[in-house]
A and B are shown apart, each in its own frame.
Chain A
Amino acid sequence: MIEAVGLTKRYGKTLAVDNLSFSVPSGRVTGFLGPNGAGKSTTMRMILGLDTPTGGTALIDGKRYRDLQQPLRTVGALLDAKWVHPNRSARAHLQWLARSNRLPAKRVDEVLEIVGLTSVAGKRAGGFSLGMSQRLGIAAALLGDPQVLLFDEPVNGLDPEGILWIRKFMHRLAEEGRTVFVSSHLLSEMALTAQELVVIGRGKLISQSSTEDFVTQATENTVRVRSPQLAPLRSALGKLGVSIRDEGEALVVSGMDCADIGELAAREGVVLHELSPQRGSLEEAFMQLTGDSVEYHTEIAEPGVPATLTTAGK
C-alpha cells in the first residue's frame, strides 16, 4: 500500500507535482497515467526518498521510505533501466545490491533466472539491448522479494513481445498479493495492464478510479447527425442543453442517444441524412480529460496534426 498525501515538488519555477494525493492498494496493478511531463517520474522519486518533497509526504505501509530497514525487502523499483554501470556485469550489479541489504547471494541467481538473464549474467550490462536492460532492472527490483513494486514507464521503447512479457509479469506480481504501481503516458497500454488508475496532468490529480470506470467515463458516447437543415436542429438541441460540436456538414451530439435525436428531428420536421452512434477512442478521451494539462502541446504539435493526438503516439 502506497499513500501520497498532498505531495508537492517545485523545481525553481516549475511546479512539477502539485498537491497530489492518492493511494495504491495491494493485490492489484495500479496504473499511474499522465502525459509526458505530468510529474509521474518526480512522484516516484519522491516515494523512494530520492527527491525531497517541497510539501506533503509519501508513505509505504505507513512509513516514510527513509525509515524503512533494508528497504529493498519492502520496496522494489525500476525507475530507469539505464541506471547500471555499463562496464559492470549483470551479476555484479545485482550482487552489490543484494549485499547492501543482507540478501543471500543465491537470491541473485534466482532473480536472474526469473527474468531469463542467466545465460548473460556475466556479460557487461552496457552491451544489453533495451529489453535486456529492462529485465535486469526488474531483477534488481525483485531482489528483496518486496511487497511493493514501482515501475516507471517499463514498456517504453520495447517491442510487442517485450511489452507482453512485462504486462503478464505485472499481473503475476499483483496476483501474488503485491502492490504494483506502474506509470505510462499511454492509456491504451494502461487499459490492458492496470486494474486501477491514478490519472494526473500537470502535477495535479485528475482522477483515481478503477480502469473500467475511467474508460466508460472517458469514452462517453456521442451521436453524429448529418442534415441539410442543420440550423433548426442545432437550435432545437441547444434548447435541451446538450453539448454539440460542429463539424461543418454534421453535428456531434453528446448526452443524447440516437432515438431521442431522431424523434426530436421528426417533431421539428428536419430531414436527416445520417444518424450514427460514435464510440470515442481511448486515447482521444484521455487527451480530452488531460487536455488542459498537456504541457507540451504546442511545442510538439506538427502542422496539420491535431495537437491532442501527438502526445499519445510519442
Chain B
Amino acid sequence: MSLLAAERIKLFSTRSPWACGLLAVALPVGFTALLAAQAGDQIDATVANTQITTNLGRAVVLVLAALAVTSEYRFGTIRSTFQAVPNRVTALTAKATVVAAVTAVIGALVGFGCWGVFRAIHAGADLALTGAEDWRPVAGQALVFALTGLLALGVGILVRQTAGAVALLLVYSLLVESLVQLIPKIGDDIQRWLPFFAADRFIGATGDDAANRSDLPLSPWGYLAYFAAISLVVLAAGIATAARRDA
C-alpha cells in the first residue's frame, strides 16, 4: 500500500497528468455535445452510439500513461524509484496499478459523461440504461481506458523517450489501425485482430463501417479479453525489460 501511495503522490504532484485527465474527459464529452446537437437525428439513437467520440479521450489517456513513466526516465527519477524500491517488478507493478485506477476513473467519467450529455441534448431518444447491453458500452469505458493506460505504460517503459513513445502510440492508434484496412485482400482479416479495433468492438458503437460487419470472430466480451491480453503482455514485456537492463 505504501508503494501505491508513493506512486499516487508522484502522479498527482505534477501538472501534466491533471491536464491530460481534464482533456481526456472534456474532449469527448464536448464533442459528444456538439454531435448530439448538430447531428443527433442522423445517428441511430442507441446507447453505444453515445460513445462515438470516446476515442479522443483514449488518445489522451495514451499520452497520460506513457508520460507517467517516460517523464521518470527523462528526469532521472526512475533511478530514485529503483533506489527506494530495488525490486523493479514490484515498483513498476505499483505504478501500473495506480495508472490503471486513474485511467479507469477517467474512462468512467468519459463513458457516463458522453452518455449523459447526449441524452440531455437529444431528449427524444430512449437512452435509458436498462440491460447489460446498455451498461457495457458506458460503464465498460472504465475497463477500456484502464487497459489502454496499461498498454501505453508498457510501451513507455520499453521506449523510455517521451517523444518516441507518444508518437508511436498516437500514430499507431489513430492512423495505422485504420490504414491496415486498405491493404488488398488481407487488410480486413488483419484488422479484426488489432488491439484498438478489439477495444472498439467491446464498446460496439456503429460509427464506422467495421462495426457493421457480421463476420467478426469474437463477441464483445471476447474482444475485451483479447484487448486485455495484448495490453498485459506489452506491460509484462516492459517490466521484464526494465528489470534486466541498467536503470
With contacts A50-B247, A51-B246, A100-B2 taken as known, whether A83 is within 8 angstroms of B79 at the C-beta atoms is yes
Query: Is A86 interfacial (CB 8 A cutoff)?
Result: yes
Number of interface residues of A (CB under 8 A): 32
Q: Are B76 and A82 in contact (CB under 8 A)?
A: yes
Contact with A along B217-247 (1 / 0, CB 8 A): 0000000000000000000000000000011
Which of B6, B14, B71, B246 is the one whose CB lies under 8 Å from A97?
Answer: B6
Which residue from chain A places its CB closest to the CB of B13 in the assembled complex?
A92
B55-83 interface with A by 8 A CB criterion: 71-72, 75-77, 79-83
Q: Are B75 and A100 touching (Cβ within 8 A)? A: no
- Asked whether, in the complex, the Cβ of A66 is within 8 Å of the Cβ of B6, the reply is no
Inter-chain contact A51/B14, CB cutoff 8 Å: no
Cβ 8 A contact of A96, one of B9, B15, B86, B87: B9
- Pick from A72-80, A203-211, A232-240, A264-272 the stretch touching chain B: A72-80
Cβ contacts under 8 Å, B80 to chain A? 83, 97, 140
With CB as the reference atom, state the residue of chain A lying closest to B74.
Answer: A85
Minimum C-beta distance from B112 to chain A (A): 30
Q: Which residues on A sit within 8 Å (CB–CB) of B77? A: 83-85
Q: Is B16 an interface residue (CB 8 A)?
A: yes
Does A48 touch B at the CB level, under 8 Å? yes
CA separation between A77 and B80, bound complex, in Å? Answer: 9
Task: Assess whether B83 is in contact with A88, with CB atoms less than 8 Å apart.
Answer: no
| Chain A residues with CB below 8 A from B86, complex form | 49, 65-66, 68, 71
The residue from A45, A82, A99 contacting B9, defined by CB atoms under 8 A apart: A99
Cβ < 8 Å to A, chain B residues 2-20:
2-3, 5-7, 9-10, 13-16
Docked Cα-Cα span, A80 to B82, in Å, equals 14
Contact indicator A72/B9 (Cβ below 8 Å): no
For B6, list chain A residues within 8 Å (CB): 96-97, 99-100
Check if B85 is an interface residue, CB within 8 A of chain A: yes
Q: What is the CB-to-nearest-CB distance from B4 to chain A, in angstroms, rounded to a whole number?
A: 9
Q: Which B residues are within 8 Å of any A CB, using their own CB? A: 2-3, 5-7, 9-10, 13-16, 71-72, 75-77, 79-87, 246-247
In the complex, besides A85-B13, A97-B80, A99-B6, 18 extra interface pairs with C-beta distance below 8 angstroms are A48-B83, A49-B82, A50-B247, A71-B83, A71-B86, A82-B75, A83-B75, A83-B76, A83-B79, A85-B10, A87-B14, A87-B15, A87-B16, A95-B13, A96-B7, A96-B9, A96-B10, A100-B2
